[in-house]
Amino acid sequence: MITLIWADNEKGPGLLEGVKMYALKFDENLCKTCPTGDCLVKCQYMNVDKDTAVDEMLKISRGEDSFVFNDCVTCYACEEYCRRGNHPFYLITEKREEKGLLTSPRAITKQWINIGEPQGKYRLGDVKEKVLSFGYMPEFLKWVRGKLFEDVMPSFIFGQEFFCNVVYIHFANTSIIKERLPMVMENFRKLGVKEVICMHDECYGSFAHLAPAYGIDVPFKPIHYFEYLYNRLKELSNEIRPLNIKAAYQRPCSARLCSDKHHYVADIMELIGVELVEREYQGENALCCGGIFNMCFGYDLASDVQKRNIDDMAGHGAEYCFFNCPACQGTLGTKVAKRGIKPVHIIDLCKMAIGEK
């Protein structure tokens, strides 16, 4: 029998040492020679030139004050914009926490910390060396069925004990990540898994991007589910009937932590005969679903971003809006449907193409 670690039973001295040990790898020398300042120049929520961008990042890295702490709405995008791998958003988050600059009311932050707390209520399938991770997204317990997954299922894991904990960067709280993520890694290690197919790209971002940025060991190979779906669809290519529809993609914040996997969106759509509409808010210029904005930064920002995003989908003739993140789908699904655009998760779109929906 495997004993997994959860918060109230094995929080020993080793773990507390670990909290102090993990430090963000950020090199201010990379900023000093940066030719673009893209992290903040491309930011959709502030208007700065290259010199200001570099100056502000250097100020932040020195622990000084910056208007960025006030204006940053935690969209994660600068983690993609910085081509030098220098983790500008993780740095902003670290320094916000150090200074006690919360992004949302204390009660909301606390509520999220409680939601993600391991409580021993995880679920394990018949776990093999290759396993599907549903993280802490219950939707996948229903969605991950059928031919697309039959070569791996019922090897799956679900629950807070395997939760990637990335969401806490929205709440300027990296200390909870540094405390819990090593426990999650230890839980994976105890299962003996070798390859983990992450059904939520926030999990993939955590294991392939955030953990290395903090020097947290990952004892398995993380695989993004886009890559898995693409390869599986190719195996099932004889069963694909092109959908011949026009669709817009709602790119989530977490996709900024795995931008090298973004090409799979177009690759998968090509395989299943979906025309990906060319619109303003796509790729690097994608807009957040607004869920976190509503919670942390107010209704006006969320409403403005959602309106521009959905207008853009409708204006470019999208018949469907497909989602990667179930939370984005929960936030925007009804709103796009009211505009006559059908909301669907990318997994369901793939199932439709092989006649399963």
Give contact residues for ligand SF4 (rule: CB under 6 A): 30-31, 34, 37-39, 43, 45, 53-54, 57, 68, 72-78, 82, 84, 86, 88-89
CB of 83 to ligand SF4, least distance (A): 7
Q: Reduce the secondary structure of 328-346 to three states and give it as a string.
A: HHHHHHHHHHHCCCEEEEH
Instruction: Give the residue with the Cβ less far from ligand SF4, 92 or 248.
Output: 92
Instruction: Give the residue with the Cβ less far from ligand SF4, 89 or 264.
Output: 89
CB of 75 to ligand SF4, least distance (A): 3
Instruction: Give the residue with the Cβ less far from ligand SF4, 82 or 257.
Output: 82
73: Cβ contacts below 8 Å, ≥ 6 apart:
45, 288, 293, 296, 297, 301
CB of 131 to ligand SF4, least distance (A): 31
Q: Report how far residue 76's alpha carbon sits from residue 294's, in angstroms, rounded to the nearest whole number.
A: 16
CB of 63 to ligand SF4, least distance (A): 16
CB of 101 to ligand SF4, least distance (A): 13
CB of 232 to ligand SF4, least distance (A): 33
Instruction: Give the residue with the Cβ less far from ligand SF4, 38 or 94.
Output: 38
Burial class (CB within 10 angstroms; exposed 0-12, middle 13-18, buried 19+) of 241: exposed
Instruction: Give the residue with the Cβ less far from ligand SF4, 87 or 335.
Output: 87
CB of 257 to ligand SF4, least distance (A): 11
DSSP of 166-181: GGGGGGT-HHHHHHHH
Burial class (CB within 10 angstroms; exposed 0-12, middle 13-18, buried 19+) of 165: buried
Q: Report how far residue 85's alpha carbon sits from residue 27's, in angstroms, rounded to the nearest whole number.
A: 9
Instruction: Give the residue with the Cβ less far from ligand SF4, 34 or 191.
Output: 34
Residue 258 contacts residue 205 (beta carbons within 8 Å): yes
Q: Report how far residue 132's alpha carbon sits from residue 134's, in angstroms, rounded to the nearest whole number.
A: 6
Q: Report how far residue 60's alpha carbon sits from residue 95's, in angstroms, rounded to the nearest whole number.
A: 7
Instruction: Give the residue with the Cβ less far from ligand SF4, 57 or 274.
Output: 57
